Each structure stands twice: as C-alpha cells, then as structure tokens.
Amino acid sequence: MQVIVVGAGPGGMMAAICAAEAGAEVTLLEKKQRPGRKMRITGKGRCNITNAADTDTIIKNIHGNGHFLYSVLHAFNNRDVMDFFERAGVPLKVERGNRVFPQSDKAEDAVEALIQRLRELGVTLLTDCTVQGILQEEGHVAGVRTADSRVFQAERVILATGGASYPVTGSTGDGYRMAKALGHTVTPILPSLVPLETEETWVKEVQGLSLRNVRVRLLVEGKRKEELFGEMMFTHFGVTGPLVLSLSRRAAQLLREGTLLELSINMKPALTPEQLDARIQRDFQRYQRKNLKNAMTDLLPQRLIPIVLDAAYLDEEKSVHQVTAQERRRLRDALQDLTLTITGTRPIAEAIVTAGGISVKEINPKSMESKLVKGLYFVGEMVDVDAYTGGYNLQAAFSMGAAAGSWSAREERKSTNDK
C-alpha cells in the first residue's frame, strides 16, 4: 500500500510510523526544512507529551469535540504514547496536573525519537516540499501535487498540515484550502490557548506579575459564562497564563458575537466575604498607624496595591484608622472582583492551538478517513478538535495519527465508511 502523509508534525509523524509498522510504503512530505517545528517549541521548549489522567478525563479536557475522539483515544491512549517514547529512549516524568514531560525537559528529544523511528522503518522523508493539492479519481484519492508541479501517486493520503497558529512553523492553513477543494466543510477558525487583550491600561504597570490560586470568571453582559481556578499573569497588553489560556477559546467565540466581555479576578477565593473582611480588619489593627498603601503588603503584591485601592475608590495615602466599614467593604469587593474588560485576543498567529477546522461530521471517528473522499484521512489540529493546556492537544494528535496510519495501510479497497 502506497501512503503519503502531508505534514511532519506530531500527528503526521505518528501516522507515518503506524502506517509503516502496518506494512505500507510511506512517503512523508514536509514544507519546512526540519520536521516537528511546532513540537520543538511546545511547553516552552519542554514538550508536554501527554497527560497521565484516565481517558474519560482527557476527553473532558478536549473541550472542542472531545467525544469525537472516543474511539481513537481508546485505540491508542496516553499509556501507548508514553510507552512509545520510553521504548525510543526518552525517559518521562509526571508533574503537577498529571502533565507528562521528557525527564530531560527537552522537546528536541521527543522530536528526534519520532524521526529516528521513521528512519528505522524506512519512511521516505522529503523536506522543503510544499503540497499544493490532492489528486482524486472517481471519489478516491490518487496522490498529491506539489508547488513545484511534481506528482506523487498513492492510494491513500493523510493530511496533517496543522492549523493556522504559529505560521512560522509551517501551520499556515494549507489543509483547510485543500479540504475545501474536495468538498469538505471547514468550521470558523478561531485562536485557542491565546492571551487576551484588555481595555484597561493599568496592566502595563504590573506586567510580568503572576497570581497563583486565583479564581477567574468570564462574564458576558455581567453574567457568568465560565469559571476556572489556577494561575494567571499580567502583560503589557492584557492577561495570559494557564488559566487565561484555558478560557480563551470561549472568549474568542463570545467576542465574535460582539458581546460585552469581562474578566472578574477573585484574588482571595479561599475566603468568604465575611472571612476576608475579618482578615482585612486584623491587618488594619496590626498596621493601624500606617496608611493604606503600606498596610496591605500582607494581602497583595506591592505593585498591585495601588490598582486595587483605586478600584475600591480609596486614597492610598489615607490612614488605616480612618477607613470606614463601608470603605472596607469596597476594598473587600475589589479583592474578590477585580474586573477587566476584554477587547480581543492576540492574533491567531500567536495562539498555541487553532479552534475550528474540518468538520468532524465528515470524518469517520474510528479511522479518521474522509466520508466524502475514499482513501483520504485527516489528522491533528486541522480537524475541528482542540483542548485545554496539559498535554491533551498532543495526545489528540498522536491518537488521530495512529488511527489514520494503521487504517490507511490496510489492503482492502473498501473504506471504513462503507462498513
């Protein structure tokens, strides 16, 4: 069986490996000079390979069509991914939140393990090779045509070209165009796992400041839409960090609808309003001879104090013993409901993941084969599937790749869609 894989990202490389292991003759075409460009920079260069949670938890964290991946995640699960890399000589470790990383903390090691396995299996890897279109005959793929007019013939083609984020790595949306040309539906493309921009300019004064163990609510016209607990960070343009990135997909959708979108930050989520008020009173008693800006150092990072006091309409030079009960309540509310107005996301080119893509309704969930064109398979970020941070997106890519690779190598001409 001749199999062509377009795109040497994590999903494409895994597809090529599994197709070759199943006996196919595989050619892997990559538009960039080096395979795995995006994978090399994931997890800040450490590569969060997968998540060690059970499969049901993984599906819950793939908030964009996670249930579509039920079959492929059970056929090739996180344990299979971990076993693959450990057999390939990449020892792994599990960190907070069940995140799995190479012990070396080097994404390069994970990428090289995939490339080495491709070599062992005799996969033909061609780099600097841009695929321009998919060839088909009577509803079945026949191969691909490259930008320099070369034709590669094959009975099976696996598209794994990535989304539209980090275009410098090769993810420039080519796959969407090729899929559309074959009649596939591409759902609206949105940035996911992306920082958010704010109307408030005071964020510049605290850029680089991280807040841990905070609760953030996404508000639409004042009504709560989503709420998460975790860590965030201020930037010169707004906010970022794991918590914000996880909320960003929903934020991008809501912004597209033109609604008023706000982010409410509770910096003391472990305390009830009454407990926080008692805590403030204890601090004020301790620092009763100081002014407000110097009496709140136990409650907040120094740079954030004037911002919170301003949100509470309090003069930072006011003496603590002059603060009224009503003013203290305003301070309490500012600590548990510091609100930012979200004006947009950062550009999709800066997003870690692309939300949207080829409609899952047109893909067989067991094999990842197109329901419209026999012998055509889709893998990875170009499919309308995306997840929270934590290794879930890479796991999804590996599972889709393993399914497409193994099914594409089968000799029977009858597709899985006919069964």
Q: Do the Cβ atoms of 13 and 118 come closer than 8 Å?
A: yes
Q: Please state the pTM of the whole predicted model.
A: 0.88
For range 236-261, the mean pLDDT: 93
Considering the chain, what percentage of its residues have pLDDT values greater than 90?
Answer: 90
- 35 sits in which H/E element: none
- CA–CA dist 214, 388 (Å, integer): 18
**Predicted local distance difference test score (pLDDT) of residue 412:** 60
**Does residue 419 have a pLDDT over 60?**
no
Which pLDDT does position 94 carry in this prediction? 98
Supply angle C-alpha 37, 40, 43, rounded to 5.
130
Span of 10-14, 40-44, 234-238 with lowest mean pLDDT: 40-44
Domains of the chain, by residue range, sit at: 2-190+354-418, 195-345
| Across 191-195, 259-263, 415-419, least confident range | 415-419
Task: Work out whether the CA dihedral 240, 243, 249, 250 comes out positive or negative.
Answer: negative
CATH 1.20.140.10 assigned to 195-345: no
Mean pLDDT for the stretch of residues 15-32 = 97
Residue 406 pLDDT: 98
Mean pLDDT across 52-66: 95
> Is 369 in contact with 46 (CB distance < 8 Å)?
no
* Interacting residues of 214 by C-beta distance below 8 A, sequence separation 6+: 229, 230, 231, 232, 243, 265, 266, 267, 269
**Is the pLDDT confidence value at 414 over 70?**
no
CATH topology match: 2-190+354-418 vs 195-345: no
Instruction: With cut-offs at 50, 70 and 90, classify the pLDDT of residue 165.
Output: confident
Residues 201-240 pLDDT 10s:
999 999 999 999 999 999 999 999 999 999 999 999 999 9
Q: Report yes or no: 161 and 171 within 8 Å, Cβ to Cβ.
A: yes
Helix (H, G, I), strand (E, B) or coil at 56: helix
Q: What is the mean pLDDT of residues 308-324?
A: 95
- In this predicted model, what pLDDT tens digit does every residue of 287-306 receive, in sequence order? 999 999 999 999 999 999 99
- Give me the mean pLDDT over the 188-211 stretch: 96
Q: Residue 413 pLDDT > 70, yes or no?
A: no
Whole-number Cα distances in Å, 167 to 31, 45, 352, 383: 12, 17, 11, 17
Query: Which tens digit of pLDDT belongs to each residue from 372-401?
Result: 999 999 999 999 999 999 999 999 999 999
Q: What is the mean pLDDT of the chain?
A: 94
Q: Band the pLDDT of 35: cuts 50, 70, 90.
A: very high
Q: How far apart are CA 331 and CA 160, in angstroms?
A: 52
Whether CATH 3.20.20.140 fits 2-190+354-418:
no
| Residue 71 confidence (pLDDT) | 98
Taking the CA of residue 239 as centre, how many other CA atoms within 13 Å lie in the half-sphere pointing to its CB? 28
- Residue 184: exposed, middle, or buried by beta-carbon count in 10 A (0-12, 13-18, 19+)? buried
Q: Does the pLDDT at position 139 exceed 90?
A: yes
Task: Classify the phi-psi angles of 375: left when phi > 0, otherwise alpha if psi is within -120 to 50, otherwise beta.
Answer: left
* Helix (H), strand (E) at residue 194: none
Residues 6 or more apart whose CB falls under 8 angstroms from that of 165 comprise 171, 191, 194, 348, 349, 350, 351, 352, 353, 354, 381
